[in-house]
Amino acid sequence: MTALENREPAAGSAADTLLRVDDLHVSFKGRGRARKVRAVNGVSFELGRSETVGLVGESGSGKSTVGRAIMRLIPADSGRVQLDGRELLSLGRSELRAARKDVQMVFQDPYSSMNPAMVVADVIGEPLDVQAGMGRSERNTRVAELLEAVGLSQRHIERYPYEFSGGQRQRIAIARALANHPKVVILDEAVSALDVSTQNQIINLLEDLQAETGVSMLFIAHDLAVVRHIARRTVVIYLGQVMEVGPSERIFEHPAHPYAEALLSAVPVPNPEIQRRRERVVLRGEPPDPTNLPLGCPFVTRCRYAMDVCADTMPELTPVDGGGLVACHLQTAGPNLAGRSLDALGVEAEPIVPPTR
Amino acid sequence: MADRADVAVPTGPEVWRRHAQDHRVEQSLDESSAPLSARARFLRRFLQQRPAIGALTFLVLIVLAALFAPLLAPYDPDQNDIRNLLSGPSGDHWLGTDHLGRDTLSRMLYGARVSLLAAVQAVSIALVLGVVPGLLAGFFGRWVDVVIMRATETIMTFPPLLLAIAIVAVRGPGLFNAMLAVGVVFAPRFARLVRGLVLGVREETFIEASRSIGTPAHRILRRHVLPNILSPLVVQISLALGFAMLAEAALSFLGLGVRPPEASWGALLQVAYNNINRNSFQAIPPGVAIMLCVLAFNLLGDGIRDSLGKEIRRGT
Amino acid sequence: MSEPPLLEVTDLDVDFATDHGWERVVNHVSFTVDRGETLGLVGESGSGKSVTCMALTALIPMPPGRVAGGSVRLEGRELIGMPAAELEQVRGAEVANIFQEPMTSLNPAFTVGEQIAEMVRRHKGLSRRAARGRAVEMLDRVGIPNASRRAEEYPHQFSGGMRQRVMIAMAVSCEPKLLIADEPTTALDVTIQAQVLDLLRDMQAELGMSVVFITHDLGVVAHSCDHVVVLYGGRVMEEAPIDELYFRPAHPYTEGLLTAMPQIGPRAGRLASIPGSTPVPSSLPAGCVFNPRCPYVVERCREGEIPLVEVGPGHRSRCVRVSELNLVGTS
Amino acid sequence: MSKVIGRRLLLTIPLLFFVSLIVFALAQLVPGDPAVTIAGEQATAARIEEIREKLGINDSTLVQYGRLVGGLVQGDLGTSLYSEQKVTDALFTALPITLSLAGLALLFVIVVGIPFGLLAGTRPGSLLDRILTAVAALGVAAPGYWVGILLIIVFGLGLGWFPTGLYVPFGESPTRWLYHLILPAFALSLAGIVEVTRQLRSSMRDAMTADYVRTARAKGLRQRTVVLKHALKNAAVPLVTVLGLQVNVLLGGAIALELVFGFSGVGALAVRAVQNRDIPVIQGIVLLSVVVVSLSNLLVDLAYGWLNPKVRAQ
């Protein structure tokens, strides 16, 4: 029985599922004598047609690893990734090459993600050469079309990447990703390296492109405000595990997981008055060593509501009022919140020191 | 203020949204000049490197002198002149003569052929023996990498000149054997360089981006890896040519390279050294020639490196 | 204003040498920092905010940089042109710095304890032993568990957040009067950022320091600062007390930044943004440097040098249309 | 620390195995019959057979290799084909000369190269930097033995300040030992001085622009402390690499210089052995130099551990 079965469809899943990630596990061999680093530890979520899902987490949460594993740029230990019902993880080499047409990626660093020796026509044209086998003139027509679509002039077709600014390069990377009409685009911290106003331009562009082409987007980011804006649903992960998933509106207004609550509370609000008034939850300590995770909930070492049960049992994903799922004992074994958000708890719980092992 | 507006100017988020919408496609790009290809950018930067230009000019002149040695040389390089043994520079013999009365200038010109050719030979051998294992080690990694790298480490434990001498000892003295030895000594250095470059390029996101498109491995190697390691390799080839000249000169000086009466600059130095008590001047021209050539290869290499774009300068 | 300000920067000009000669990256920047106050220095990348602060104690590399003019007074003493040996006594002891990258800002070859202790020995003249003790005490004060053991460890054995705590411990170890924090939390995760911001605030209260806080994040400014200077193209665009800036901005650029700030609150349609990109020092436009990106641009904006004018108590703006525009701030 | 040494020594075992194979291959690859070479073209068949027996060439390859390794383990490197002298004896006579020459040259490299590198690296673009860079460019291009010849011409034959040859053992007279070694050691060290200057210059330049140096300056440390403590310790990592490689280069360079100055060191021995195709001597010299180079590599690794805590942790 996998994590996603046996659950009402309304909870954490999309209406018309396009991409389904189920119980994904990815690990790396640690350096030297260090043990295995379990980067992704049973992550499941779904992405609907023409939907944008945000995947948020801090560094070391495994969010980028999820994206790369879906793309099969790194091997997964176990789990399933289905695109339109077709399993991606078991595809053979040539099938995989063909399937890569449907899932594309935009990377964080707009500078290293393009071969400096190629002109824009070749950068954007590469997927067309490789996948579509287009003739040169046909290809260049399509490249010009794509440039236009991402807000660049087709006069730039023979220019080199070094001539463009970071934001412009990211537009080129988006054009490259869209070249073969993919079904899904994975954006891995695609706007993190940009200034705020450039960031907004790119986000607006992505929304326009989604409206035009109906492409689905998995938006991986650490910036909560950006995810709040672009994603209809959000998946919050911590140390390779899903803590909470659900409609962005609900999560951002009434987080059900203590980690999501703390994460949101930590984001400074650009308003001095609110900033002075608001009570912040400042998490103590730092994430534990990823080679030596707690048996139970990975968040137990920093959680202010931690109970004894949290230390040795990982809670199941449980439905929450207002939509979505949360993996927290407060919802199941603890003071019964009956599927409500954390604000309902009302009491200021003292953090307990989890048993060390 | 005089022009103060009576009607309030609309302000706030809506204005900015509309403003951004109006300027959506206005992406500034410096279009004052035509786009330059990587090669054109390289050439433009290279032409600004005065020492490198000087070095290149010098090397071209030396190569021409070597090519046209029969036309330029005032005497037959092997012709003895018993009336002029170990003479100093004079109108007849601009650079004097050696102990057999042979004209030093003529021998220098013919020696340039030998020295240059030997350097090219040694570096070509080193490239053939080094680049392929380096590519394999860098691209395949795992045990291939381990084996190849261990082998290069072992070879590099030998002092280079000593290893060359040992190889000459086995194969017997002679220019080709000497250059083969120098090539073998150099090969592991090229192997390591190429491996490092390949590893560096492999880490780049653009390789990952290309893989994610579904680009087959051979195309990645051809379109992404090779173009990005070629330029740093050229830099090293230029430097290696200098070192090979030094190595040839050393082996010939020790009597393990070129066989008499053929001349190379190292062999000329040996003859000059043997007669140093009678005429010290003869030691100057071949030494200066070697030094200037090596210097030129080094300056050229530095110049090429400095002309490469920042983005492909890694690893050099 | 009975007491003179702690730091008084007047008309500071900083140039950098380029292929085309000297380029001005900081142009006539002036501001003051009062005792115990936190001043925010805000701007996008390339606005000159870091260079300004590094020029205060001559930390910019010279060459290629140079301070071309202006004055920096710390308690009335002029720092520009101060002899190097004297300036070394000011750095660390009176003006301390924290930098953005805690990873590269600590020396990888020495233990963190040694790196704090050497500074204490230098400025406080403590013995080797006493300085060690002080280093451990400081590490403990910034919340590093097992301080005496961790003092013996090297920077690579610390996480990003812990390294920034080490930097803070080091910076405040000689109880400076002024702390310059250059994007101290930009490289950190939000939950760690919150810890570090709180720590900085606690240390400031404890030691009564003044702080200059350099950041591009208006959320962090709202959390930490009393007074704000907005920089663009190496110039001061607006300067205001914190609430004034957020609720009554007097420069279109500030309005644009506030509008573009993505918010956690309910989603409000399309994101606003400032079109175009920040100018490079070599090709600044004539007139107001912001005019090519400004929605309120008129003919007057494109000519001459725009003066910085007083629009309220402690509130100044470099905009010719400031009296005509009723700019909207944060709601 | 002892752990590092132990692991290093363990790693040397496969290396020595490889080296013994290569050394063995040297002898096997010699074209023609070494017995004929030794006996001369006119020797009788019986005489040649006698020599073959003595050399053990008639045994199988495996037996021959076993004998080589067996000899190595007992410290026996065989006998010279030419002089009938034991190879170990020949090496031990020649080694002090070469070590004196290379050691003094290494000292020059360190005491001249490091200050030059520091001066050039901390004042990039200054007149001094430009002069040093120009001299360095020439120095790296000039063959050491040629510089040796020039020194003989100027200081020996011309000015008569220094002797132009003859090695005096240290035990006999330390001052005359030094006096006779100065010219060749200087000529030998030139390339190394240049290499160290260049390397230290560039790594100091990098270190001086590093963030941690900015931090050190922001802490109000004296410029001297910033340069000699914070920058130098980090810049020293590539410097140590270069110094380690110098051992290799100096041993090679010593060969020609010994010839120029008429020292009968290992280099001179090697050249003579090559001319005579005296394979056992060549084998011995190659093995000896590998041991010396491996020892210097060990020192380099230990230095890395001290300079770079990250390496130590692994």
Alpha helices (H) along A77-135: 93-99, 120-127
Residues 6+ apart with CB under 8 A from B226: none
- Chain B residue closest in CA terms to C323: B4
C324 contact residues in B (CB cutoff 8 A): 1, 4-5, 9
CB contact under 8 A, D233 and C110: yes
Contact criterion met (CB < 8 Å) for C326 and B15: no
Nearest residue to A188 via CA among A31, A61, A330: A61
Would you place residue C187 in the very low, low, confident or very high pLDDT band (cuts 50, 70, 90)? confident
- Say yes or no for a CB contact (<8 Å) between B1 and C323: yes
Contact present, C24 and C48 (Cβ < 8 Å): no
Q: How far apart are CA B153 and CA D293, in angstroms?
A: 12
For residue A126, give the nearest of B24, B208, B213 by CB distance.
Answer: B213
At C12-46, the pLDDT tens digits run 999 998 877 888 999 999 999 999 999 999 988 88
CB atoms within 10 A of CB A276: 11
The pLDDT score that the predictor gives to residue A246 is: 93
Which of these ranges, D70-84, D119-133, D196-210, has the smallest mean pLDDT?
D70-84
Model confidence at B29: pLDDT above 70: no
**Gap between the Cα atoms of A164 and A149, Å rounded:** 17
Q: Which of residues 135-164 of D touch B (CB under 8 A)?
A: 137-138, 140-143, 145-146, 149-150, 152-153, 157-158
CB-closest option in D211, D234, D310 to C99: D211
Band the pLDDT of C330: cuts 50, 70, 90: confident
Chain A contact present for B45, CB below 8 A? no
At residue A34, the pLDDT reads 59
A227 at C interface, C-beta within 8 A: no
Query: What does the mean pLDDT of chain A come to?
Result: 84
Spell out which residues of chain C touch residue B15, defining contact as CB-CB under 8 Å: 295-296
Asked if A272 and C263 come within 8 Å (Cβ–Cβ), the reply is no
Size of interface A-B (CB pairs under 8 A): 93
Q: Does C228 touch chain A (CB under 8 A)?
A: no
**Which residue did the predictor score with more confidence, A131 or A187?**
A187
- Stretch 66-95 of chain C: residues touching chain D, C-beta under 8 Å: 84-85, 88-93
What distance in Å separates the CA atoms of residue C166 and residue B244, rounded to the nearest whole number? Answer: 51
Distance between CA atoms of residues B302 and D173, nearest Å = 46
**What percent of chain C has pLDDT above 90?**
70
Interface predicted TM-score (ipTM) of this complex, two decimals: 0.82
Confidence of residue D285 (pLDDT cuts 50, 70, 90): confident
Instruction: Report yes or no: A279 at the C interface, CB cutoff 8 Å.
Output: no
Count other Cβ atoms within 10 Å, centred on residue A71: 21
Please list every residue in chain C whose beta carbon sits closer than 8 Å to the beta carbon of residue A283. 191, 194-195
Contact assignment for B254 to D255 by CB distance below 8 Å: yes
Answer with the residue of higher pLDDT: D66 or D195.
D195
CB contacts, 8 Å: C260 with chain B = 16
D167 CB-near residues (< 8 Å, 6+ apart): D97, D100, D180, D181, D261, D263, D264, D265
Chain C residues closer than 8 Å to A284 by CB: 195
Kindly list the residues from chain A whose CB atom is less than 8 angstroms away from the CB atom of residue C223: 268-269, 272, 275
Report the chain C residue with the minimal C-alpha distance to residue B6: C324
* Chain B positions in Cβ-Cβ contact with residue C268 (cut-off 8 Å): 13
Q: Which residues pair with A78 in a beta bridge?
A: A25
Most confident of C149-163, D6-20, D70-84, D169-183: C149-163
Contacts 24+ apart (CB under 8 A), D163-169: D164/D261, D165/D261, D165/D262, D165/D263, D166/D262, D166/D263, D167/D97, D167/D100, D167/D261, D167/D263, D167/D264, D167/D265, D169/D96
Nearest-Cα distance to chain A for B296, in Å, is 28
* Chain D nearest-CA residue for B286: D146
For B159-208, how does the pLDDT look when each residue is reduced to its tens digit (9 = 90+)? Answer: 888 888 888 877 777 888 888 988 988 899 899 999 988 888 888 889 98
Q: Do A163 and B215 touch (CB under 8 A)?
A: no
Tokens of A260: 């999501």
Among candidates D209, D218, D230 on the partner chain, residue whose Cβ is nearest the Cβ of C107: D230
Chains that touch D (3 or more CB pairs under 8 A): B, C
Nearest CA in chain B to D143: B246
**Average model confidence (pLDDT) for chain B?**
82
Note whether A280 contacts C266, CB cutoff 8 Å: no
B29 and A151 within 8 Å at the Cβ level: the answer is no
User: Cβ distance C203 to C237 under 8 Å?
Assistant: no
Task: Flag if C323 and B13 touch (Cβ within 8 Å).
Answer: no
Asked if A270 lies within 8 A of C219 by C-beta distance, the reply is yes
Interface contact C219-A200, CB threshold 8 A: no
Which residues of C fall within a CB distance of 8 Å from D214? 54, 59, 99, 105
pLDDT at B296: 92
Q: Mean per-residue pLDDT for D160-178?
A: 82
Q: Is the pLDDT of residue D241 over 70?
A: yes
**Strand A241-247 relative to strand A325-327: parallel, antiparallel, unpaired?**
antiparallel
Please, are residues A134 and A94 in contact by the beta-carbon 8 Å criterion?
no
Q: Which domains does chain C carry?
A: 7-232 (3.40.50.300)
pLDDT at residue B27, as a whole number: 56
What's the CATH superfamily of B38-74+94-307? MetI-like (1.10.3720.10)
* C3 C-beta neighbours (distance < 10 Å), count: 7
Query: For residue range A214-244, what is the model confidence (pLDDT) as tens digits?
Result: 999 999 999 888 999 999 999 999 999 999 9
Q: Which residue of B27, B212, B223 is in closest CB contact with A104? A: B212
Q: C: neighbours with 3+ CB pairs under 8 Å?
A: A, B, D
Instruction: Report residue B313's pLDDT band, with 50, 70 and 90 as the boundaries.
Output: very low
Residue numbers in A near C213 (CB within 8 A): none
B29 vs A contacts (CB less than 8 Å): 153, 156, 159, 163-164, 168
**Is a pLDDT exceeding 80 seen at residue A350?**
no
**pLDDT higher than threshold 90 for residue C182:** yes
Closest-CA residue to C274 (of B13, A198, B11)? A198
Q: To the nearest whole angstrom, how far is the Cα of C224 from the nearest Cα of chain A?
A: 9
Domains and CATH numbers, chain D: 2-87 (no CATH), 96-313 (1.10.3720.10)
CB contact under 8 A, C263 and A228: yes
D277 touches chain B (CB under 8 A): yes
Mean pLDDT for chain C overall = 91
- Alpha helical stretches, state H, A128-165: 136-149
Question: What pLDDT is attached to residue C267?
Answer: 66
Would the CB atoms of D157 and B294 count as touching at under 8 Å?
no
Prediction pTM value:
0.84
| pLDDT higher than threshold 70 for residue A1 | no
pLDDT at C310 exceeding the cut of 70: yes
Residue keyed to tokens 């610390």: C158
Which among D209, D215, D220 has CB closest to C105?
A: D215
Do B295 and D138 make contact, defined as CB atoms within 8 angstroms?
Answer: yes
Residue among A105, A126, A170 with most chain B CBs within 10 A, to mutate: A126
pLDDT band of A349, cuts 50, 70, 90: very low
Q: Check CB contact under 8 Å for C261 and A196.
A: yes
